[in-house]
Amino acid sequence: MTLFSEMLLETVLFYGFLPFFLVFIFIYVYFQYSYTYWRRKAVPYIKPKFPLGNNDCIAPQATSYGLETVAWYKDFKSRGLKYGGAWSWAKPVLLLTDPDYIRDVLLKDFQYFVDRDMYSNPVHDPKNESLFVVKKDEWKNMRTKLSPVFTSAKMKMMFDMVVECSKPMIECIEAASGTKDDIDIKDLLASFTIDVIGCVAFGLEFDCFKDKDSQFRQMGREFVNVDIFRATGLLTTRICEKLAVHFGFNNIPKVMTKFFVDVVKNNIEFRKKNNIYRPDFTQLMMEVFESTKNDEHPFTKDNLIANTTLFFIAGFDTSSTTMQFVLYELARNPELQEKTRAEINKVLEKHDGKFTYEAFKDMTYLRQVLDETLRMYPPVQNLARISVKPYTFKDTNFTLEKGITVLVSTSAMGRDPDYFPDPDKFDPERFNTENKAVRNPYVYLPFGEGPRNCIGMRFGIMQSSIGIVRILRKFRISISPTTQLPLTLMRGVFLLQTNETLYLKAEKL
């Protein structure tokens, strides 16, 4: 039982329910006053409802903004607005619809919007202060130290390790194709990406295909599993961040943090004791740690643990989700599947049948397929930035106060027919050289943009491409009749998920 739940029980036993009635009255009054915020600022808004504001569901997994922003975006666009106000619970947020304003916030005037709107608790939970959540100067210092870890040269160095990790996945698909069994493709791809993280991050063999209950596979499930007590904490971080900080709530389960503390500590000690060097993520961060010991802002052991945990979470879920939807769309569009496979075979023939980093870079149509998938199914559905000082939008008299969240709905932008005609059609030609050249780049932002874009973008694209190439080269895929179609997207969650399980069939070529 958490500290918060213990205090809650003690309060009920000692005082009865009167305090909760008074707290409810206070919350109601506070919410109703907050719901006048955008009217007081003379900003167009969507009328909120107590207690969700403009959210449309309560989801315990939610730690940020989900698909609810698509409805907000459509509402403001229908009114010809470049921005508009909404509420997430009692929190006022400003959603942008204009690509030029989006460019200004993410890039041109980035100094006003340095911070992400993502809860963190540096006092009680320093081992989860990763690059994704840290604020202001601390973010800049950490980004500078970690950027060399994710260069193209480092990706090339890790390429063969990722390819090697795909072998158990191919063996698993081959076995299923022989028996004509259904393949739970998201589960299979998650095993692949976790094995990859084990190899390139820790230099370890996780064997997720052999051991479905491996500790690392359990940690992946632990992250998405939310019980009532964790849900209470996550909800508190959304409604009242200061209260959540006071009670020591965090977004990462404590059991998960402890697990990675032990893994990182044991891994580093083993390498030092046995003089082992591996060109992986842990080694690169160890070098950052050693080289910055005497800096004014060193890269600490807590930083190392936090970013290793982040690499695990971001690397396994976002890439497995992307690959799932690539295979879903190629299974639904067999002619595009054959076109993708034809390019793969042609490029590999050019490279003497070897799947190398250079061969991967030559697969331009495959990249178009990935881009089109990310347009329709961005794993991170919104970009959220906080104004760190007052900001006046150009050509307006509207000044945004310090501390207000600005949202960009990547899901809504990617399905906007003004930028992508017939947006529900899967068409990789949208991302050929000619079409990309005439489209505003700020309507397609699956990895963000500007100084605070996704630092792991190169690795994510490389890992996903390797998985797709390895599968399509050997198998023709189709959707199993047991899959409940169409797939629908889960509401109220931060990272994109489907309500249904996607089952595929694989035919060996």
Question: Binding site for heme: which residues?
Answer: 454
Query: In sequence order, which residues have a C-beta less than 8 Å from that of residue 388 and are 6 or more positions away?
Result: 111, 112, 113, 114, 115, 136, 402
What is the β-pairing status of strands 399-400 and 405-409? Answer: unpaired
- Among 51, 41, 46, smallest CA distance to 86 is for 46
Q: Give the separation between CA 56 and CA 194, rounded to whole angstroms.
A: 33
Query: Which amino acids are annotated as binding site, given as ranges?
Result: 454
Taking residue 356's Cβ as centre, other Cβ atoms within 10 Å add up to 15
- Among 125, 128, 130, 101, smallest CA distance to 113 is for 101
**HSE of 5 in the Cβ direction (CA atoms, 13 Å)?**
9
Query: In sequence order, which residues have a C-beta less than 8 Å from that of residue 291 and are 6 or more positions away?
Result: none
Helix count and strand count (H, E) for the chain: 21, 10
User: What are the residue ranges of helices labelled H in 180-300?
Assistant: 185-197, 215-224, 228-239, 241-246, 254-274, 281-291
Q: Kindly report whether the peptide bond that precedes residue 486 is cis, defined as omega within 30 degrees of 0.
A: yes
**176, 504 Cβ separation under 8 angstroms:** no
Q: For 391, phi and psi rounded to 5 degrees?
A: -140, 130
- SS3 sequence of 274-285: HCCCCCCHHHHH
Q: Give the separation between CA 335 and CA 203, rounded to whole angstroms.
A: 39
Q: Give the separation between CA 387 and CA 377, rounded to whole angstroms.
A: 27
Q: Give the separation between CA 196 and CA 456, rounded to whole angstroms.
A: 14
Q: Give the separation between CA 33 and CA 24, rounded to whole angstroms.
A: 14
User: What are the residue ranges of helices labelled H in 351-456?
Assistant: 357-362, 364-376, 410-414, 433-437
